[in-house]
């Protein structure tokens, strides 16, 4: 990989992307992006105003018809060129992500490959949008069903996957023929601005996409009041997503939401303990645990709990905490001091209610001053009353509870308003699958720590969201079926 010192942060775009150009905010306001590894200011980025958002929607509305009528093959080729450009710039983009997110370079490189894959997948889906033709039951008409793009879309993306959470919205929107306005998280706007340049270089017409970083979220989400907007796609907290969905209902916008999670990690009595312990490298420690589908509640059969906890502690000790771009670092800082405070409070609450601290002894020496670091942590005997058993941790903490029967495990797993992801481990595959089928979650991984795949539908049930992203299903979030009835 290219060394991090080869890249100059001042060479990256920091303006709003509107009408195919990078521009200052209309009121010249900016905000600082902080490097979580050391607390320093990484860049100053333009902060979109309400008038900037309105201009972006003006352009999106004006470009909508032409983009919808652009041949599917042309849309496909643009997306595929963007995929190739992302992969060609993987080292540079991974470095940029690590700088603004504090995430270790290996994780950032993995996200570039994952995020780019959504463009390749939806480049292929763009030319496979299908309709239907059939006779009416009465025999006096023919029913034609076509798929038409929903129209101008607002995408609001989170900070924890600054590329992939955008590409899995932008990819299907562009493939379907929708124009799109993207508001990236204020913690990590630089990655999405980089993506805007990639799409321009790939040949995307001006006005089809706008990227609007802002320090004032309402300046962009206020577009939900404009009836020209026809779709909202949001990834973030349940509270914010539900509030935005309420606003979207005013004009009957099509809505897709990927919201909070509280993923159970069920280790049955016949599980391969070493496999279950090692799988936390992906299921928990990817991105230092700041992942919406990260395992949150480790539910382990009482007969194997002690052995599992010991092996997990060994796995967690194998991770190297440090500055995101330093060689050998395998997990970096959390996204900011606010996130460190949240995780600290959850762990302290669990300890005060009877949980046992297995790891760590403390932060390693030599970490950069001002960084937002939290050590790899293992808690055992976590009581059900602890906040950590009922909250999304978003940090490098394994919190272990035990169960005695499968029915008890399923009951604990489902005792949450959330239902995004879950994990089940057991050597008896038929039994493990039956457990997976009874867990209330939109996605369940069996005997593995990874679950996301651009070719598979991603989304949750209950208060974890609406709709699906990725897979064959993902493009239909940006299409509306239209009936054309022909009399005989």
Statement to judge: residues 278 and 172 lie in one domain = no
CATH number at residue 418: 3.40.309.10
Q: Is the pLDDT of residue 434 over 80?
A: yes
User: Which band of pLDDT confidence, cut at 50, 70 and 90, is reported for residue 361?
Assistant: confident
Q: What is the pLDDT of residues 362-382, one digit of tens each?
A: 888 899 999 999 999 999 999
Any domain includes 459: no
* Residue appearing with tokens 């539908």: 457
Q: Cα–Cα distances in Å, from 81 out to 74, 126, 197, 202, 472? A: 11, 14, 12, 5, 21
Q: What integer pLDDT is reported at residue 225 of this predicted model?
A: 96
Q: What integer pLDDT is reported at residue 393 of this predicted model?
A: 95
Q: Is the pLDDT of residue 4 over 90?
A: no
Q: Is the pLDDT of residue 473 over 70?
A: yes
Which domain range does residue 360 map to?
263-454
Q: What is the pLDDT of residues 138-187, one digit of tens each?
A: 999 999 999 999 999 999 999 999 999 999 999 999 999 999 999 999 99
Q: What is the pLDDT of residues 93-134, one digit of tens each?
A: 999 999 999 999 999 999 999 999 999 999 999 999 999 999
Mean pLDDT of 330-351: 96
CATH number at residue 14: 3.40.605.10
Q: Put the strands of the sheet holding 263-267 in their side by side order.
A: 356-359, 377-380, 397-403, 295-301, 263-267, 421-425, 443-446
The mean pLDDT of the chain is 96
Q: What is the pLDDT of residues 214-260, one digit of tens each?
A: 999 999 999 999 999 999 999 999 999 999 999 999 999 999 999 99
Statement to judge: residues 246 and 347 lie in one domain = no
Q: Put the strands of the sheet holding 153-156 in their side by side order.
A: 21-23, 16-18, 209-211, 180-183, 153-156, 231-235, 254-258, 465-466
* Active site positions, annotated: 258
* Residue appearing with tokens 């939900």: 224
Q: What is the pLDDT of residues 266-275, one digit of tens each?
A: 999 999 999 9
φ, ψ at 410 (rounded to 5°) = -65, -40
Statement to judge: residues 92 and 192 lie in one domain = yes
Angle in degrees, CA 54, 177, 109, rounded to 5: 85
- Bridge partners of 116, per DSSP, are none
How many folded domains does the chain comprise? 2
Mean pLDDT of 383-409: 96
Q: What is the pLDDT of residues 435-468, one digit of tens each?
A: 999 999 999 999 999 999 999 999 999 999 999 9
Q: Are 420 and 260 in contact (CB under 8 A)?
A: yes
Q: Is the pLDDT of residue 1 over 70?
A: no
User: Which band of pLDDT confidence, cut at 50, 70 and 90, is reported for residue 5?
Assistant: low
Q: What integer pLDDT is reported at residue 6 of this predicted model?
A: 65
Both tokens of 192, joined, read: 């999405």
Q: What integer pLDDT is reported at residue 2 of this predicted model?
A: 41
Statement to judge: residues 267 and 287 lie in one domain = yes
Statement to judge: residues 332 and 344 lie in one domain = yes
């Amino acid at each position: 990989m290219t060394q991090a010192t080869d890249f100059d942060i001042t060479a990256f775009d920091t303006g709003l992307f509107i009408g195919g150009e990078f521009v200052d905010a209309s009121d010249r306001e900016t905000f600082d992006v902080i490097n979580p590894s050391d607390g320093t200011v990484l860049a100053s980025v333009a902060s979109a105003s309400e008038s900037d958002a309105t201009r972006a929607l003006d352009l999106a509305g004006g470009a909508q018809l032409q983009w919808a009528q652009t041949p599917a093959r042309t849309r496909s080729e643009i997306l595929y060129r963007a995929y190739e450009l992302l992969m060609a710039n993987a080292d540079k983009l991974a470095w940029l992500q690590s700088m603004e997110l504090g995430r270790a370079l290996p994780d950032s490189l993995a996200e570039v490959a994952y995020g780019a894959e959504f463009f390749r997948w939806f480049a292929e889906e763009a030319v496979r949008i299908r309709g239907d033709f059939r006779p009416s039951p009465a025999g006096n008409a023919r029913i034609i069903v076509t798929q038409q793009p929903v129209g101008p879309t607002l995408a609001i993306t989170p900070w924890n996957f600054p590329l992939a959470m955008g590409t899995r919205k932008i990819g299907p929107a562009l493939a379907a023929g929708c124009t799109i306005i993207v508001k990236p998280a204020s913690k990590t706007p630089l990655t999405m601005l980089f993506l805007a340049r990639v799409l321009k270089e790939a040949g995307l017409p001006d006005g089809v996409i706008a990227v609007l970083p802002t320090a004032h979220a309402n300046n962009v989400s206020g577009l939900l009041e404009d009836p020209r907007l026809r779709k909202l796609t949001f990834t973030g907290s349940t509270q914010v997503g539900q509030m935005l969905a309420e606003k979207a209902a005013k004009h009957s916008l099509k809505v897709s939401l990927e919201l909070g999670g509280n993923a159970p990690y069920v280790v049955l009595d016949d599980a391969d303990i070493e496999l279950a312990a090692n799988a936390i490298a992906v299921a928990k420690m990817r991105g230092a645990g700041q992942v919406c589908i990260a395992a949150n509640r480790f539910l382990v059969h009482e007969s194997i709990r002690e052995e599992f906890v010991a092996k997990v502690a060994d796995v967690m000790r194998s991770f190297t905490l440090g500055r995101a771009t330093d060689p050998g670092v395998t997990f970096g800082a959390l996204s900011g001091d606010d996130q460190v405070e949240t995780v600290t409070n959850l762990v302290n609450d669990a300890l005060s209610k009877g949980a046992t601290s297995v790891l760590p002894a403390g932060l390693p020496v030599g970490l950069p001053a001002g960084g937002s670091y939290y050590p790899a942590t293992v808690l055992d005997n976590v009581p059900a009353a602890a906040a950590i058993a009922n909250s999304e941790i978003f940090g490098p903490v394994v919190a272990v509870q035990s169960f005695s029967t499968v029915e008890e495990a399923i009951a604990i797993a489902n005792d949450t308003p959330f239902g995004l992801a879950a994990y089940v481990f057991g050597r008896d595959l038929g039994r493990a699958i039956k457990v997976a089928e009874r867990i209330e979650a939109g996605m369940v991984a069996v005997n593995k720590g990874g679950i996301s795949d651009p070719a598979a539908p991603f989304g949750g049930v209950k208060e974890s969201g609406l709709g699906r992203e990725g897979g064959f299903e993902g493009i239909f979030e940006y299409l509306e079926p239209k009936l054309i009835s022909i009399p005989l």
